[in-house]
Amino acid sequence: MTKPAKKNEKRKWVEKLLPFVSKSPKMKLKWLEGAFKKKVLTLDEITPYVRLLLSGNSVEEKQQLEEFFQDLDLEMQYSLIEAADIYDTPEIFRLLDHPTVGHARIALIKNVPLYEKKTQMILDKVFYAISNFSKDLLAKTIELLEKEGKASAMLLENYERFKEILNDEEFLLSLYSKARG
């Protein structure tokens, strides 16, 4: 009867001392979940761990990560998007099964770092990640942010430019229907 308890104790010991990068995606998510619940680390301190969770995974690990993301509660999904930097946000959106306006809202109020010279490209990646699920989701979220007064002039300007890009893409696809990639 004591053997299962020892296995659990051993497993907990290994999970505690195993470096984050050596953990499986499921163990990484559990660790992040614990970090969010305990509130020992700030979101800025958790950001590198989110990056490590998303990077360097094999195809199999990415599939596992997708499956695990579906099991996360909404609060944890929001926390991961909030803790991720803007560069990792599109990757998190790819892992979500059914993103909501709440997910998109958190992603769109993120600031592009001041040192970033390719602001439009970074924002386009976030816009594409959201609009890949639904162009309507992106439009609703931008509208909500405008009503709340949280949409910066830069965000609105880039959103208008992005809509033009989507219109151009649709036009080109209508001309060259076999070019869909």
The per-residue pLDDT for range 90-105, each reduced to its tens digit, is 999 988 988 999 999 9
What is the predicted pLDDT for the residue at 13?
Answer: 59
Greatest alpha-carbon pair distance for the chain in Å reads: 71
* Alpha-carbon span 6 to 150, nearest angstrom: 52
**What pLDDT is recorded for position 2?**
45
Four-point Cα dihedral 121, 122, 125, 128, nearest 10: -80
How confident is the model over 152-175, as pLDDT tens digits?
888 999 999 999 999 998 888 888
**Interhelix angle for 101-108 vs 74-83, to 10°?**
10
What is the value of pTM for the model shown? 0.82
pLDDT mean over 65-80: 89
